Structure 1
Amino acid sequence: MTEIAFSEYIKKLDSRMEKYIPPKPWTPADEALYGPENIFEIPPKEADEMRFKAIKYAFNHHYNNNSFYKNFCKENGISPEDIKSIEDLPKIPLIPDKFFKDYPSGEDFAAWLSGLVTGEMPDISINKKNPSYDDVIGAFNKAGMEIAYSSGTSGRYTFIPRNKKTFYASEYALAKTVISMVYPFWQYEMDGYLMMPNPHKTNVYAGKVCSMYFDAIENVEVAIDRDIPADLIKEAMGSGIKSSMIKFAVKRGNKKMVNRMIKWLREKEKENKKISMIGLPFILHFVMNKLEEEGETFDFGENGAVATGGGWKIYENERMPVEKFRKRVNDILGIPGEQCLDVYGMVEGNGWMVHCPEGHYLHV
C-alpha cells in the first residue's frame, strides 16, 4: 500500500467532505471537530482544553436557546456560570434517555418534537389529519431539519431532532473517525458497499448518518434499497403473528441481498478493485455464512476494509466477539483484521467510538 502523508490524506478527505464543514468563523465545538488534523493524537492537555471549551459552548447554546432545557437545568440548580473548569463538566444536567422514548403520536408528536428543538423552528406543514411518525418526520425534514430515530431494540424509538449543520457534524465525525483509523487505506477512487438501508430512504439514524459514504467513496452499492417506515421496524422488533410474517419476508429478502453482495464481491476481485464495506455486521455475517457453505473464499488483502456498526438487531442470537468476527473476515474475505473495525454510536449523540486496528479498545 503506497504511503501518503497523514496531513495530505486528511486534506483529501476534507475536500470530498466540503459541504459538511461549516464556513469560518468556527465555534469552539466546530474547532474541536474540524480543526485537529489527527483527532486521535491530540496532546492530553490540549484535548482537555478543547473539550472543555466545546462542551461549555454547547451547554451555553442550548441553555440560552432552548426553553425546555433551560427549565430542566433550573430544576437541577445548574446554570452556565457554574461550569468554570473541566472538573465541573459532570454537573451539566443530562436529559434521561427515557424522556426521548416517551412521546405522543399524531399532531401531538409534532408539538413534542418542536419543544426539543434548540433555536428557531422552521415553518412545518403537515397536511394529514392523523399523521404517522414518518409523516411528521418527513414534514420536519422537508423544512430543513434532520429528524432521526433509533432502531427501537428496547421496544420504543428514540427520536432526536437536529438542524442540518448538527447532522452534518455527526456525519463528518463518523467519516473522519473511521478514515483516520484506517490510514492510509482510504481513497476516493474505490468501490463501496453500504450494508445498511439507503440513507435517502430511511430515518433510522444508523442508516441516515451514512449518506456521507456517497461523498467519501466514488462508487457505492446499497444492501437495502427501499423505504423502511417506522411502523414496519417496530413490528419487526416485536413479537406475535405480524412480527413473524415480517421476519419471514425479511429472511427471504436477505437471501437475495446476500446473493447480490456475493456477486459484487466476485466482480470486484476480478477487477482487482479496492473495496470498503460499511454497515450492519449481521449482513456480512450472512454473506460469509453462504460463502462458507459453498466453500468459496476471496483474497482482497490490503485492497479491502470493513467497518461494522449498528448492532445485530433481531439477529442478536448470531452475535459474536469482535475478535472472532475479524478472524472470519480474514479467513473468508482475505481482509486483514487490522482493516476490520467496529464502530459504536447512538442517535442521542454526535460522537463516535471506533476500534483501533489492534482491536484492543474503542477510541473516542
Structure 2
Amino acid sequence: MVAMSGPRDVAECLHKLIPPTNQWTPVDTALHAPKTFFRDYKKAQDYMFPALRHTFKHHYDNNFLYHRVCEVNGVTPDEIASKKDVQKIPLLPDAFFKDYPDGKGFLNWLKTIFSGSLPKPMFKTENPSHDEIIEEFNKKGTSIMFTSGTSGRFSFIPRDTRSWNRVKYSAMKSVIELMDYNPTDEVILLIPDPRQTNLTIASLFGIAYDLYDPVNVHVALDMKITTQFLRMQRDETIGLSEKLKAKALSTISPLVQRNSDIKVIHLLEQIEKTGKRVNLAGPPFWLDRILDRMKKEGKSVRLPTSQILTGGGWKAEENKRLPEDSFREKITEFLGIPQERYHDVYAMSECSSVFLSFEGHYKHIPPVVVPLVLDEDLNQLEY
C-alpha cells in the first residue's frame, strides 16, 4: 500500500500539474489532451501546429528582444499559416542564455529574455549576486534554473510556475510510459537535494518527489548547491573570502563525497535484503564512482527488478567516460540490474522536455518536440 503522502496512481501525480481546462491554451491542449505520448504518437502530434503557432505569437508579442529578432528576419505570426511555414520561425542558439552581463546588468538581462512581466522582488543590496536573485525569484514563484557551468559559463533560464509544471509533466509522462513505473518503488537520487537548488539536472531528477512517495526518496547529497558553490568548486573565485572558502571546500569535498557514496552503497544493501525495487537515478559519472568503490571493497548486490536512469553526461569527469555498452555491463556486474532496465535521458536547460531511452537504448523524442537538424548558421538540413 502506498503511503498517503505519495501519489496513489498515475492520474493523481499528473493531475496536479494540469491547469483547469477553461484556462488551456493550444500548448496545454498539445501537452494534456493526448492520453499517451508514445503509444499513439501521430495522433499526439496532431495538436502540435496550433501549439507552435500560439507559442511563436506569445513570444513575438511579449518579448521585446525576440520581437526584434523576428523583425530582422522579416517574419510575423501571420505568416505561419501551415505546417510548412514552421521553418520560417526564427531560432535562438543555446548560447543566447549564456550571454549575460555580470553585476547590476544581470537582473535587467533576465527581464529582457523573459516573455512577459517578471515579478519585482526586493533586494538588500543594489548589486545582488546571482544566488540572491535566484532566491528572491523563487519566493515569487519564478524559478531561474542554471546549468553546472562546466563550459566556463552558466546558462540561466527563468520559468514561471506554469512553464515549470509543463516541463515536469512532459518529463513525468516519459518516465511513466517508457520505464517500468510503480509509485511504491524506492528511489535513490545521485544528486544534490533538488529541494535546495535550482541546478537544472537536480530539478529534473526532482520529479521523483511527484512520481513516488517522498518517504521512499533518498538523496545522496544533502547539500545546498548554488552558483557560488559551483564556481568555487572550479576554483573560479571572486575576492579573498571566496578563495579561502574554495580552499576549505577542496579539503572537505572528498570526505563529503566518500561519506555520500558509502551511504548509497549501504542503502543498496538494505534494499537488496528487503527485496524491494529501487530506481537509481543521477549522472553516470556519479554512479560509476560508486561502482568503482564497490569493486574496490569487493561488494556487489543483486537487484534484478530495479532500474537505472542516468542523465546529465560525464561533465568534469569526461576523461573517465565509458562506452555506454561497457557501462551497462558494469552496472549488471555490480548491481545485478539487467541491461534492458538501464535508461539514459538527454535533457538541456533550454528545452521544455526530455528525451528518454527505451527500445534498443535509443532516445525517444516526445511528440511535443519538433526535432530539427541545423547547420552552424541555424539553417535547417534534411535528415
TM-score (norm 1): 0.90
Alignment correspondent of 2:280: 277
Cα shift at 1:244: 8.0
Alignment correspondent of 2:199: 204
Alignment correspondent of 2:151: 154
> Could you tell me whether the CA contact under 8 Å between 1:301 and 1:335 is conserved in 2?
yes
CA distance in 2, matches of 1:174, 1:225: 24
Higher relative contact order (CA 8 A, sep 6+): 2
Cα shift at 1:265: 0.5
Alignment correspondent of 1:322: 324
Alignment correspondent of 1:5: none
Q: Which amino acid aligns with 1:280?
A: P
Alignment correspondent of 2:263: 260
> Could you tell me whether the CA contact under 8 Å between 2:343 and 2:361 is conserved in 1?
yes
Identity %: 33
Q: Counterparts of 1:230-245 in structure 2 under 5 Å?
A: 230-237=227-234
Alignment correspondent of 2:63: 66
Residue from 182, 186, 191 that aligns with 2:186: 191
Q: Does 1:34 align with 2:36?
A: no
Question: CA, structure 1 residues 133+239, in 2 after alignment: closer, same or farther (shift >3 Å)?
Answer: closer
> Could you tell me whether the CA contact under 8 Å between 1:113 and 1:161 is conserved in 2?
yes
Cα shift at 1:314: 1.5
CA distance in 2, matches of 1:172, 1:351: 9
Alignment correspondent of 2:172: 175
Question: CA, structure 1 residues 211+360, in 2 after alignment: closer, same or farther (shift >3 Å)?
Answer: closer
> Could you tell me whether the CA contact under 8 Å between 1:337 and 1:357 is conserved in 2?
no
Cα shift at 1:39: 0.8
Q: SS of the counterpart of 1:154?
A: coil
Q: SS of the counterpart of 1:351?
A: coil
> Could you tell me whether the CA contact under 8 Å between 2:8 and 2:183 is conserved in 1?
no
Alignment correspondent of 2:220: 223
Unaligned runs of 5+ in 1: 1-9
Cα shift at 1:246: 4.5
Alignment correspondent of 1:22: 19
Cα shift at 1:103: 1.0
Q: How many residues align?
A: 351
Cα shift at 1:189: 1.3
CA distance in 1, matches of 2:292, 2:206: 28
Alignment correspondent of 1:338: 340
Cα shift at 1:237: 3.8
CA distance in 2, matches of 1:169, 1:156: 26
Q: SS of the counterpart of 1:358?
A: helix
Alignment correspondent of 2:106: 109
Cα shift at 1:299: 1.3
Q: SS of the counterpart of 2:27?
A: helix
Report the RMSD for the aligned CA atoms in angstroms.
2.2
Cα shift at 1:67: 2.0
CA distance in 2, matches of 1:225, 1:78: 48
Question: CA, structure 1 residues 37+326, in 2 after alignment: closer, same or farther (shift >3 Å)?
Answer: farther
> Could you tell me whether the CA contact under 8 Å between 1:83 and 1:91 is conserved in 2?
yes
Q: Deviations over 1:159-214 (max 9, x none)?
A: 111110101111121121122111xx211112111111111211111112333211
Unaligned runs of 5+ in 2: 1-6, 367-383
Q: Counterparts of 1:39-50 in structure 2 under 5 Å?
A: 39-44=37-42, 46-50=43-47
CA distance in 1, matches of 2:363, 2:92: 27
Alignment correspondent of 2:372: none
Q: SS of the counterpart of 1:343?
A: strand
> Could you tell me whether the CA contact under 8 Å between 2:26 and 2:51 is conserved in 1?
yes
Question: CA, structure 1 residues 362+252, in 2 after alignment: closer, same or farther (shift >3 Å)?
Answer: farther
Is the deviation greater in 309-318 or in 154-163?
A: 309-318
CA distance in 2, matches of 1:213, 1:169: 15
Q: SS of the counterpart of 1:168?
A: helix
Q: Which amino acid aligns with 1:255?
A: R
Q: Which amino acid aligns with 1:15?
A: E
> Could you tell me whether the CA contact under 8 Å between 1:105 and 1:132 is conserved in 2?
no
Cα shift at 1:129: 3.1
> Could you tell me whether the CA contact under 8 Å between 1:48 and 1:86 is conserved in 2?
no
Q: Which amino acid aligns with 2:280?
A: M
> Could you tell me whether the CA contact under 8 Å between 1:147 and 1:203 is conserved in 2?
yes
Cα shift at 1:331: 1.7
Cα shift at 1:120: 2.9
Alignment correspondent of 1:100: 97
Runs of 4 or more, structure 1, over 4 Å off, are 238-248
